[in-house]
Amino acid sequence: MVIETERSLAMRCPACGKLNHQVFSLFELSGSRTLKVHCNCGFTLLVIGTRDHKKYTLQTFCVVCEMTHITICSAKELWCQDQTELFCPDTGVELGLIGNRAIVREAIRKEQTPLQVLLQSSEYNEFFENGEVMTAVLHSLQDLADQGRLYCQCGNANIDIDIYPERVELHCPECDGSLTVYGRTLEDAHLFNSISQIELMKDSLPGADGGKFKKRNS
């Protein structure tokens, strides 16, 4: 039996709607006996409690019932199983997924809307401050990602992309490196056209523009 000390949680935050990938460790539970996993917005996504390290209670807030549900699981289920799904007991709606990093990352990737679908929906075009520019920026990002030219200094090339009306936030789920790129003006679109590579800086603070652009022909 292999005991991993690290677990990942995939969960859409009931407060801000963001799809989270949070990593926590078994050791965080050793002293306090309760472990809280938070969304970046501050909302508590998951509370893990245990008295004896054999049985664990998992508390999650359910958006459907607007109340907290409690799931009870064994140490083996929580720490050794590839994945444990958290369900609403009343509606069967999936609330989240706990598992190893790779499985959780894959689940999140599947959950995200493919860029192509996103760009074709008119709703999303209205969402952007400057639809034309943002579409160009997103296409460029997709191209870079497809060619393996969008990656993080830590070696990870599975970069999360959060889209806002006038900007795109790139985030490395492995080391929390992040980078913001803007798509407001024609200059932004032109700048993006000339970029041949984007490297996120490892461990950069949220909101900090830690990244390197490499221009074509340079």
Under the rule (CB under 5 A), what is the footprint of Zn ion? 13, 15-16, 39, 41, 43, 62, 64-65, 88, 90, 152, 154, 156, 172, 174-175, 177
Smallest distance, Zn ion to C-beta of residue 191, A: 23
φ, ψ for residue 49, nearest 5 deg: -130, 150
Q: CB-wise, 41 or 186, nearer to Zn ion?
A: 41
Name residue, tokens 């936030």: 169
Q: CB-wise, 18 or 53, nearer to Zn ion?
A: 18
Smallest distance, Zn ion to C-beta of residue 118, A: 21
Look at strands 178-182 and 167-171 and give their pairing: antiparallel
Burial of 8-34, coded b for 16+ CB within 10 Å and e otherwise, reads: bbbbbbbeeeeebbbebebeebeeeee
Smallest distance, Zn ion to C-beta of residue 41, A: 3
Query: Which segments of 112-185 does DSSP mark as H helices, in order?
Result: 115-120, 122-127, 131-146
Smallest distance, Zn ion to C-beta of residue 186, A: 31
Smallest distance, Zn ion to C-beta of residue 71, A: 11
Tell me the Ramachandran region of residue 187: left when phi exceeds 0, alpha when psi lies from -120 to 50, beta otherwise.
alpha
Look at strands 195-200 and 150-152 and give their pairing: parallel
Helix, strand or coil, per DSSP, at residue 170: strand
Q: CB-wise, 65 or 186, nearer to Zn ion?
A: 65
Q: CB-wise, 13 or 189, nearer to Zn ion?
A: 13
